[in-house]
Amino acid sequence: MSAVSLENITKTYNKGRVLAADAVSFEVAEAELFGLIGPDGAGKTTIFRILTTLLLPDKGSAYVQGTDVTKDYQTIRNKIGYMPGRFSLYQDLTVEENLNFFATLFGTSITANYDLIKDIYEQIKPFGSRRAGKLSGGMKQKLALCCALIHKPEVLFLDEPTTGVDAVSRKEFWEMLKKLKQQGISILVSTPYMDEAGLCERIALIQDGRIMKVDTPGEIIRSYPVRLYAARAANIYQLLNDLRKHELVDSAFPFGEYLHLTLKNDKNDGIEVLQQYAAAKGHADAEVKLIAPTIEDSFIRLMREKNGPEKPGLNK
Amino acid sequence: MPDKVISCKNLSKQFGGFTAVNKISFEVDKGEIFGFLGANGAGKTTAMRILCGLSYPSSGEATVAGFDVYHKQESIKKNIGYMSQKFSLYENLTILENIEFFGGVYGLPRKDIRQRSNDLVQHLGLEKEAKKLVGELPLGWKQKLAFSVAIFHRPKIVFLDEPTGGVDPVTRRQFWDMIYEAAASGITVFVTTHYMDEAEYCNRVSVMVDGKVEALDTPANLKKQFNSDSIDDVFYKLARGAKRTGD
């Protein structure tokens, strides 16, 4: 049995004018750490709200631990932990009061399931008497995770838990998720940050309400269909403008220190072609190399396959 | 006008006994894209408020666009632009109205505003949408428009506070195209973010830890210095020892 399964889940808002989820299907296996990766507005939160029984789909079916989300919400609510994207604990209650409150709601106590939250809770315990509203972003996130775990859920739903949290706290958070998974908890986590995709076992890439691909991060990278080049020069903006004018260049995007490029009809001579062209355009120092794509490269490729090459400016 | 658009020396800010910014010194060149990183509570926001002319330092020196942060706050405000992901445009005004409003706030003559807003709308390819409410635009468009509005009065520096959080990867790249374009035209870009891949686009990057600037160099040199393959890792090595975690 899958921990979570969705089949053709569709949801619209504003009397059908906004298509938030478009025939979404995927499965999360038991004790799997599964990532839903996509930008703001892609439909991630809609999917979470349907799976946590807070919203009914227009069409399709979805099951959590084998239970239909539209029929037996009480059973599901007892089995899941949900951390919404917006901080939703009581700001005026202390750390300890919040945790106690959620434990009591689920008919349990902090001590009964202390093992599960021990590692996380001990990091915020020194601030046990501080009001939740006065915690830093990283500590709020840890408290919210404790509250979502206190009734020992079988499936954990984490909607953008790392948005707005600094890099150190983010890293610690993903370490915690790995440990929870090892204890047999199935986890569905969403993030708009592509660099976090590699920390999941499998991921679904989502854009405009549609799942573009579901696979392991490694397989998504391996299946990138063309060779990918990275280029840089002292004047990277000029290099970008020059390379975009080259007839063989299919796509050219800034990617941090480098530009990432793909070619039309790549004859395995891309490095020479690009290097010579760059030199002819006055970039004597240009460096061109072949690189392995990232999840973000794959995401861009899939978006372009769907929408066609982007046009300059804002008009689509 | 010197080529150093921002320069601070031993800049500090105390709140009571708490030193939020502790003797930071750095310079930013004209047309440079400068990344300003730090963990939550490191003092980024406090430092940026001083540089934007919104808060006085306790000690040290700093000039922004050639103006002193103690005595010329109003001149600083006129010569900078600011954009954050959280607040940017008025959703209930149209695209054109937003542009005109911000042009007016910065005191541009009416004639210039009309001319330049037409140019801008055309440059962005938004002719058809110019009279639509900003609230109806997709997030990516809003952000690109917000950036254009932030540099509409042709400031010497634009401050970007986590500019591309949450947008799709293609829009994000288009946004960086615009940043490169602005920098190439001579506008200095000062970016604060705690998303480290954004830092990789910068010419130079500084990392604040517990109120101090602990590292400052090009992304390539920082990676070499800390023996890391990403700025994310450099940041982690520097910031994991931080004592402060408050917002």
Residue-wise pLDDT tens digits, B164-188: 777 889 888 998 999 999 999 999 9
User: Nearest CA to B162 among B170, B152, B154, B172?
Assistant: B172
pLDDT, one tens digit for every residue, chain A (316 residues)? 899 999 999 999 999 999 999 999 999 999 999 999 999 889 999 999 999 999 999 999 999 999 999 999 999 999 999 999 988 899 999 999 999 999 999 999 999 999 999 989 998 999 999 999 998 888 899 999 999 999 999 999 999 998 878 888 888 899 999 999 999 999 999 999 888 999 999 999 999 999 999 999 999 999 999 999 999 999 999 999 999 999 999 999 999 889 999 999 898 899 999 999 999 999 999 999 999 999 999 999 999 988 776 554 443 3
- Would you tell me how many other CB atoms lie within 10 Å of the CB of residue A156? 23
What confidence tens digit (pLDDT) does each residue in B125-145 have?
899 999 999 998 888 888 889
Domain segments of chain A as ranges: 4-221, 225-292
Distance from CA of A239 to the nearest CA of B (A): 11
Asked if residue A58 lies in contact with residue A11, where contact means CB atoms within 8 angstroms, the answer is yes
Quickly tell me which residue has 């009001």 as its tokens: A131
Residue B87's pLDDT is 64
Domain segments of chain B as ranges: 4-47+56-239
Q: Verify whether the Cβ–Cβ distance A39 to B144 is below 8 Å.
A: no
Look up the ipTM and state it. 0.84
Residues of chain B contacting A136 with CB distance shorter than 8 Å: 40-41, 245-247
Whether A166 has its CB under 8 Å from any CB of chain B: the answer is: yes
Q: Verify whether the Cβ–Cβ distance B170 to A192 is below 8 Å.
A: no
Percentage of chain B modeled with pLDDT above 90? 73
CATH of domain B4-47+56-239: 3.40.50.300
Among A136, A163, A195, select the one facing B197 at the smallest CB separation: A195
CATH of domain A4-221: 3.40.50.300
Backbone angles phi, psi at A248, to 5 degrees: -85, -15
Distance CA A162, CA A211 (A): 21
Distance from CA of B74 to the nearest CA of A (A): 31
Q: Which of residues 58-97 of A touch B (CB under 8 A)?
A: none
CATH C-level class of A225-292: alpha beta
Q: Verify whether the Cβ–Cβ distance B183 to A42 is below 8 Å.
A: no
Biggest alpha carbon–alpha carbon distance for chain B:
55
